[in-house]
Structure 1
Amino acid sequence: MSATLSTPRLVALLVTLPFLVLLLIGLRDWRQSDRLFPGLDPSAVTRIELARGRAQVVLLRRADLDRWVVLSAADAPADERRIDALLRDLTRLRGRPPVTPLPAEEPLQLRLYDRQGLTLASAGFFDRRAVLGARHLMLDHTPSLPLWPSAWSTLQPPRIAADSIVSARRISAAGSTPLSPSDTARLGTILSRLSAQDFVAAASVNWAGADYLQATRRDGSLIEIQSLPAGDGRNHVRLTSPTDPELRMARRYAWRVEPVLP
């Protein structure tokens, strides 16, 4: 038997060797890293706060409902699978001392609380970095922490068929003005395309100066609409109805749409 490696075995060894080196380096780095939140029990977390500047998302596990809601967005139903995935990810998250200084921008703040309001964990997050009091760690990966309510919610907008709107009028201090057939059709199209992608709590919007519209559906029921520029080229609209329970529930939320009136 030859003591030398055959050519195929030598080629296989040369191909495999770099991967083994990378694996050993990764194992070394893992052993040198620390858990970000050692001992964190996901089942004990009942409140999650995310904030950066004026942007904030608060998630709460309501004891009376035994489910998560987006507290900062009028108790919209929360995506429990996403919250569970985040908490599991945080228990596995690891970091090690960095070799470069912290960035200058403001970190995204995360705080976890239990049912008694006691803080279970808190940290400030940059891209691949975390600050825990005086500690600064480079993370093995960046947790997903979006700062808009729709990312954490399963909320769906009310269903309104475009052709169900047969007439509409604008109501102001000066009186009531019917919308033209083309504007009525446009309103119906906009209402049929409501999306929860960018919803916010209606109470967080200052509705002073909003346009007030009233739409009549084919069945004779009314939809009352407030519309106000959202500052990004679109409008916030809030809907309610004296007869439709789905729309009365939707009054708690403001939906972003293209401007209702030209």
Structure 2
Amino acid sequence: MLALILAPMLLLGAQQLWRAGGTQPLLPGLDPDQVARLELQRGEARVLLARGPDGGWIIPSAADAPADPARIATALDRLEDLRGRPVAAGAAADAREPLTIRLSGADGQLLGEADFWTTEAQARPGGERLTIAKPPALPLWPSAWSRLEAPRVPADRIAAVEELTPDGPKLLPPDATVEVARMLADLTAKDFVAGADVNWGGARLLRVKLTDGATIDLQQVPDGDGRYHLRLTSDTLDSVRAARRYAFRVAEPLP
């Protein structure tokens, strides 16, 4: 009876040893619970995740946007368990610029650092270059790590839209108001960036008037990649005013 009970456990242990055979950990000794700061960088692209004063995760590189703790925990657990096989001697090296990750503790102590290529990784400094079967997902855009939501502006609350010009407000026609209402109703936080990182010079300026008398000001500039950055603020709506720190991406220009 004891043998029947132990057999599956022994088989599982043997399978795990077989899978790990010939592999080594990328970041030996990494404890995810000790990580208080996670930095990802490739060239000028950079995402910084850190524990805030209340212990929750934020994105300092994106105006302290709220981060998704579950997504970060999954990435850290994956890094803790990540193993690989040494790259064969004489194998051609991946010449592309790597994605570098740095893990630090609450006291700033470096807990781990590594470079990632498509199927290879190397701990820094001086670690052996390893072939990784399933590299972890480490995206370099803030919205992939965030639970930020764009302000919700129901279309039926919009009464009128004005363009803010040097000569004063100019009322836009009804079809333009409908277009703005649709854009705001469909607004998401996907691909958002920190508003302070955007050059708002020459921005198109609109003022949205709501049926209850509240107003929302819009600024929009091209993002350089065929879409547009849109920033919202309001003197009367707290939820919109808080979103002023972020620039949301939209596909179309304001009318």
Letter in 2 for 1:106: E
Q: Could you tell which deviates more after superposition, 27-36 or 46-55?
A: 27-36
C-alpha distance in structure 2 between counterparts of 1:162 and 1:238, whole Å: 18
**Aligned: 1:121 with 2:112:** yes
**Aligned: 1:92 with 2:85:** no
**Aligned: 1:39 with 2:39:** no
| Seq. identity, % | 45
C-alpha distance in structure 1 between counterparts of 2:226 and 2:165, whole Å: 23
**Aligned: 1:112 with 2:103:** yes
Q: List, as ranges, runs of 4+ consecutive aligned residues in structure 1 with deviation greater than 6 Å.
A: none
Deviation (angstroms), 1:27: 5.0
Q: Could you say which residue in structure 1 is the equivalent of 2:55?
A: 66
TM-score where L is the length of structure 2:
0.89
Q: Could you say which residue in structure 2 is the equivalent of 1:9?
A: none
- Listed as ranges, the matches of 1:3-14 within 5 Å are none
Preserved contact between residue 186 and residue 260 of structure 1 (Cα < 8 Å):
no
TM-score where L is the length of structure 1:
0.87
SS in 2 for 1:85: helix
Letter in 2 for 1:101: A
C-alpha distance in structure 2 between counterparts of 1:44 and 1:30, whole Å: 25
Q: Could you tell which deviates more after superposition, 128-137 or 216-225?
A: 128-137
Q: Could you say which residue in structure 1 is the equivalent of 2:8?
A: none
Q: 1:184 aligns with which of 174, 177, 180?
A: 177
Q: 1:102 aligns with which of 93, 104, 113?
A: 93
SS in 1 for 2:159: strand
C-alpha distance in structure 2 between counterparts of 1:162 and 1:233, whole Å: 26
- Listed as ranges, the matches of 1:13-52 within 5 Å are 28=18, 30-52=20-42
| Residue deviations 1:18-42 (CA, integer Å, cap 9, x gap) | xxxxx98x95562211111111111
**Aligned: 1:239 with 2:239:** no
Q: State the aligned residue count.
A: 239
- Listed as ranges, the matches of 1:186-225 within 5 Å are 186-225=179-218
Give the CA RMSD over aligned residues.
Answer: 1.7
Preserved contact between residue 158 and residue 250 of structure 1 (Cα < 8 Å):
yes
Deviation (angstroms), 1:260: 3.6
C-alpha distance in structure 2 between counterparts of 1:111 and 1:89, whole Å: 15
Deviation (angstroms), 1:73: 0.9
- Listed as ranges, the matches of 1:156-195 within 5 Å are 156-195=149-188
Gaps of 5+ in 1: 1-22
Gaps of 5+ in 2: 1-13
Deviation (angstroms), 1:88: 0.8
Q: Could you say which residue in structure 2 is the equivalent of 1:136?
A: 129
Preserved contact between residue 26 and residue 122 of structure 2 (Cα < 8 Å):
no
C-alpha distance in structure 2 between counterparts of 1:33 and 1:46, whole Å: 28
C-alpha distance in structure 2 between counterparts of 1:170 and 1:59, whole Å: 38
C-alpha distance in structure 1 between counterparts of 2:160 and 2:228, whole Å: 21
